[in-house]
Amino acid sequence: MKIYLLDLGSLVIDRSDVLWHLDVGTPVRFPVYGVYIDHPEGKFIFDTGYDLDHVNAVLPFELPEQTPQQTLPEQLKLCGTTPDEIDYFVNSHFHFDHVGGNKYLGNATLITSKFELRSLLVPEPFERLGYSDVDWYERGRPVKFVEDDYRLAEGLTLFNTPGHTIAHISLLAEPEGRRPMIFAGDAVYTQETLDKEIIGGFHLDPVQSVEAIRHIKEMAREYDAEIFPSHEMETWDSWKHAPEFYGD
Amino acid sequence: MKIYLLDLGSLVIDRSDVLWHLDVGTPVRFPVYGVYIDHPEGKFIFDTGYDLDHVNAVLPFELPEQTPQQTLPEQLKLCGTTPDEIDYFVNSHFHFDHVGGNKYLGNATLITSKFELRSLLVPEPFERLGYSDVDWYERGRPVKFVEDDYRLAEGLTLFNTPGHTIAHISLLAEPEGRRPMIFAGDAVYTQETLDKEIIGGFHLDPVQSVEAIRHIKEMAREYDAEIFPSHEMETWDSWKHAPEFYGD
């Protein structure tokens, strides 16, 4: 398999929302990215960034920066494919900055949990902005519901990391020729999240969020895997970006 | 019964911690108070403010302002009693700004939940600062453990409002000659908390926190009670303070 990291723009939030209660009043710009996996069993996407029009309309205070190149179709073009060729997609969770490119995936089946879908449709009051982009789902969409750990394909496993949202999931990828990779989604915003076990300021369940960090660290030890946080410019800059890829 | 509100000083936190995610980076000063109830069945205290030395040592960034007059002994003196005469005390929860005067209550029995005590002793990582003042408990203390709603005395009822902490409790007081009073502790920081059902930025369980607000509003409707938020200068300023009192 080949694993491509797709650059889907950036947003700004307060550092106290990245690392709960730290440095209140300090804005930070962070990257938003997706993962495309070209695998012998199919083409998979994990997370699809944000829809620029949606953010400009509903959350302009997050100061989106997204060039035409930083969209799912253009990023997939760099990898030699198109949205129509994608077979399956997974969102770590349904917050707006992880589902924005779903609308392009016309032939792909969504793999998700009924619980996460319930939260998208009927969020808690404090989750309304997070789950504000529901348009992609209302257009109609083939769905495969899964619970527990789920084998997407050989060497591609979803595992549950709830807390940030009701049914947040992370992805373990085991490509040939390099260490396994854990895409931790918003269970791990930054390297500091891991080192200090500080959860993000957006969450459904803080206690579960701490457990999710520890579970991911345990998985990383067990598989000798590298953990990829979701929203940190420094770590993002240190990785290979599409059209470069990991694996094979 | 006579109900006295005791002025125990003030602190500063970010408005986004009073009302989760609102106005990040905006400091607000808020009052810290206790309630003394002189009742035919005994003398009761609900919440005891913060210990100035503790805050100066551990959380000086909350900018404590507490005159010698704004301590539990001096406030009780205004009411014609002393800490040694108190029979029972209850803390809505064991965060440092609700337990600071406990150390003065040498002859009083603590009424609490085993769960709240567990959190004081072994907090979640993100609760460590909240539960940082444990000295008053380590000195030794007679305790009566209660669960569920609990009748403290005629017209004085504790009821569970978890979410802010594992076993946060509120107090319903039904004095003669005026509407019942609900002391909601940190389940309700401000009037806006009630009106918009926005929880505070410090919490163990956000979903339970929302439920607690709704439960308190439901109780207020049922008893035609007035709700007393914990930490808002405007509402505090509008109430009678010791040596004035409510009831009788």
Query: Can you give the residue ranges of every domain in chain A?
Result: 2-237
Instruction: Kindly indicate the confidence band of residue A248, based on its pLDDT and cuts at 50, 70 and 90.
Output: confident
Of B24, B125, B203, the CB nearest to A16: B24
pLDDT of the residue at B148: 86
Q: What are the structure tokens assigned to A2, written together?
A: 């080949």
Complex-level ipTM = 0.90
Q: Which residues 174-203 in chain B show a CB within 8 A of chain A?
A: 197-199, 201-203
pLDDT, tens digit, 9 for 90 and up, residues A61-83? 999 999 999 999 999 999 999 99
Catalytic residue of the set A97, A148, A149, A248: A97
Q: pTM of whole model > 0.90?
A: yes
Q: What are the structure tokens assigned to B65, written together?
A: 């302002």
Q: What is the CATH number of domain A2-237?
A: 3.60.15.10
Nearest to A119 by CA among A158, A168, A73, A161: A168
- Please provide the DSSP assignment of B193-239 as one string: HHHHTPPPSS-S-HHHHHHHHHHHHHHHHHHTPEEE-SS-HHHHHTS
**Looking at the predicted structure, is the pLDDT value of residue A139 above 90?**
no
CA distance B39 to B226: 20
Q: What is the mean pLDDT of chain B?
A: 97
pLDDT of the residue at A74: 98
Q: Name the amino acid, one letter, at A23.
A: D
Instruction: Please name every residue paired with B90 in a beta bridge, in sequence order, or none if there are none.
Output: B46
Largest CA distance in chain A: 47
pLDDT of the residue at A102: 98
Do B24 and A21 count as a contact with CB atoms less than 8 A apart?
no
- Which residue stretches of chain B have pLDDT < 50? none
Q: Which helix (H) or strand (E) holds A31?
A: strand A27-39
- Using CA atoms in the order B120, B121, B124, B129, what is the torsion angle rounded to 10 degrees? 60
Number of C-alpha atoms within 13 angstroms, CB side, residue B69? Answer: 6
**Looking at the predicted structure, is the pLDDT value of residue A45 above 90?**
yes
Do A126 and B204 count as a contact with CB atoms less than 8 A apart?
no
pLDDT of the residue at B144: 96
Do A25 and B24 count as a contact with CB atoms less than 8 A apart?
yes
Q: State the SS3 of A160-224.
A: ECCCCCCCCEEEEECCCCCCCEEECHHHCCCHHHHHHCCCCCCCCCHHHHHHHHHHHHHHHHHHC
Give chain A's end-to-end CA distance (angstroms, integer).
6
pLDDT, tens digit, 9 for 90 and up, residues A2-16? 999 999 999 999 999
Do A198 and B125 count as a contact with CB atoms less than 8 A apart?
yes
